[in-house]
Amino acid sequence: MDKISKDDVRYVAKLAELEFSDKDIEKFTSQLSRILDHIANISSADTEGVPPTSHILDIKNVFREDVVKESISQESALENAPDRESDGFKVPKID
Amino acid sequence: MEINYLTAHKLKDRLKKKEISSTEITESVYSRIEAVEEKLNSYIRLEKKSALKKAAEVDKYIGSGGEISDFTGIPLAVKDNICTKGVITTCASKILENYIPVYNATVIEKLEKQDYVLVGKANMDEFAMGSSNENSHFGPVKNPWDTSRVPGGSSGGPAACVAAGEAICSIGSDTGGSIRQPASLCGVVGFKPTYGMVSRYGLVAFASSLDQIGPFTRDVEDCAALLNVICGHDKNDSTSISGEVPDYKKYLEQDIKNLKVGVPRELMVEGIDREVKEAVEAALKMVEEMGGSVEETSLPSLEHALSVYYIIAPSEASSNLSRFDGVRYGYRNMEQKTLRKMYRRSRAEGFGNEVKRRIMIGTYCLSAGYYDAYYEKAQRVRTLIINDFKKAFKKYDVLISPTSPTTAFKIGERTEDPLTMYLSDICTIPVNLAGLPAVSIPAGLSGGGLPIGVQIIGNIMREDNVLRTARRLEEAIGFVGRPEL
């Protein structure tokens, strides 16, 4: 598989909503390259006709009755908010 | 023996006979903490005041003839990624530094029903990502056997505090070995149950298809007793297994005559310490002496287990950790004027390097153009690994291997080289990929005085075979080592 470049790392950082200094981009590029190099060896495994695992146990959908129950109150849900206004979470302007 | 070094089952007997009080037990644990915690850093947060209050309540209850369960009045530590209502739960991350859960994890509810005593929240690798407990925002944990060495990870705190007598037992979580590897490096018993046996409700998610909560104890009997408390179906976790939970303690009495043991060649890895190998071989000999049979076997697809894990776990993590955006809880950089900048600065400042590394690997593996080659391919190879285990368990009752290829390594030795650090999980990772139950029990000390662990792996929901093997081996090995601090 292709070697990862500094621009790839910048692009992935953007997807992951992370930010790095130029120095960190350099370090991450070399570390991620080594890790990706190593994990790319799975391409050698023969998986012809093998289905991907979706769950380790043979369980199907789990259903329950749709009954209204008590849940965490609005006030509790807001207790850990870094910023709030009346009954809602407050965030900076959406750009 | 000092009170704080007794097992929960011995303490229960003494509580029953009114020879001791929960307050005395709790005080002995805290006096040990006061003596050694500065050297170890096992805890992120201590709850002394509420613990002593709880102990006093328990004593009153026992005094008035109240019934004593296995963990009534017993001081336990809880890994800091398990939600405790009203008690800060940080995941050892700056991003959750001030997070106060508004609900309890299901395991905490179950322990509270027994009237356990919460000693404190145990230190760990940030978001359970690491094998050395060096990735904590609150500083590394030291190994009680040699404080220049790591205790293993990610449950370094839960392992170290039990080994050092700073708690009677503890609760941790295991995604790729995070209970078994530190148990091995610290010389205690650490059990990862079958995926789905313990509810994950209230466990801060790292990799949801791999995470499982389990106990750290000083003997196999306490381990079975703690499994009895924490296992069981929970409607709040749709992946939890339904049905009755057996009494795990009853398996402790069973012998291992005719037990069929397989030894996967792929787990007796290259670069394994000679003394670790010898300790495992000695344990296998004991199995034979007790009437079991031992045979080398091969699970060829385990060759890919590490790669599969380091694709699937970071992929799930990158998705799970997207919830930390500085909006509803956790750290926020308050300087930013627009939403997207606020997300990025908060996450960049809130997460440590290893967490960022894994988010990056996961995001990359899931990104357009790479999904098939990495994530989907990994899930296919995972099926091969599961099939290999299925085949092996047609022939064997348990598989035995080292827990960790080496004893505890030096602090700082592997921090600059993440790949080498990842390789230290090679014996434990396959078990999570297949959702199997497995335990690490102490198998002795190396010449340098460091604990060695042996891993016993069972088939899905065959905790019985794991426990009886562990109990018989524990008797035969007779490990009584205790760290000098």
> In sequence order, what DSSP letters do the residues of B384-404 get, joined into one string?
HHHHHHHHHHHH-SEEEEESS
Could you tell me if residue A72 is inside a domain? no
| Residue A85 located in a structural domain | no
Q: Is B10 in contact with B2 (CB distance < 8 Å)?
A: no
Report pLDDT digits (tens) over B282-305.
999 999 999 999 999 999 999 999
In a domain, A48, yes or no: no
Asked, for residue A25, whether it belongs to a domain, the answer is yes
**Chain B residues 305-344 with a CB less than 8 Å from chain A:** 306-308, 310-311, 318, 322, 325-332, 334, 336-344
Residue B417 is predicted with a pLDDT of 84
Residues of B in contact with A13 (CB under 8 A): 360
Question: A5 to chain B nearest CA, in Å?
Answer: 12
Q: Which residues pair with B46 in a beta bridge?
A: B120
Nearest to A81 among B308, B328, B339 (CB): B328
Domains of chain B: 3-261+396-477 (3.90.1300.10), 303-378 (no CATH)
Q: Does residue A94 lie within any of the structural domains? A: no
Residue B440 annotated to the active site: no
Cα–Cα distance measured from residue B242 to residue B240, given in angstroms and rounded to the nearest whole number: 6
B264-279: per-residue pLDDT in tens?
Answer: 999 998 789 999 999 9
- Is the pLDDT score of B240 beyond 60? yes
Active site residue B132: no
B260 in contact with A, Cβ within 8 Å: no
> DSSP string of B225-276?
HHHHHHBS--TT-TTSPPSPPP-GGGGGG---TT-EEEEEGGGS-TT--HHH
User: Judging by beta carbons within 10 Å of its beta carbon (0-12, 13-18, 19+), is residue A51 exposed, middle or buried?
Assistant: exposed
Q: Do B334 and A4 touch (CB under 8 A)?
A: no
pTM of the predicted model over 0.90? yes
Do the chains contact at B329 and A13, CB–CB below 8 Å?
no
Residue A26 lies in a domain: yes
Q: Does residue A12 belong to any structural domain of this protein?
A: yes
**Is B435 near chain A, with CB under 8 Å?**
yes
Is the pLDDT at B155 greater than 70, yes or no? yes
Both structure tokens of B443: 């198998």
AA letter at B332: R
Contact B334, B345 (CB under 8 A): no
Residue A25 lies in domain: 6-42
Note the ipTM here: 0.95
Average pLDDT over residues B445-463: 97
Residue A36 lies in a domain: yes
**B82-99 per-position pLDDT tens digit:** 999 999 999 999 999 999
Min Cα–Cα distance to chain A from B212, Å: 13
Structural domain total, chain A? 1
B178 is catalytic: yes
List pLDDT tens digits, range B122-147. Answer: 999 999 999 999 999 999 999 999 99
pLDDT band (50, 70, 90) for residue A64: confident
Cα gap A35→A43, rounded to integer Å = 14
DSSP string, B127-168: GG--SSS---TT-PPPBTTBTTB---SSSHHHHHHHHTTSSS
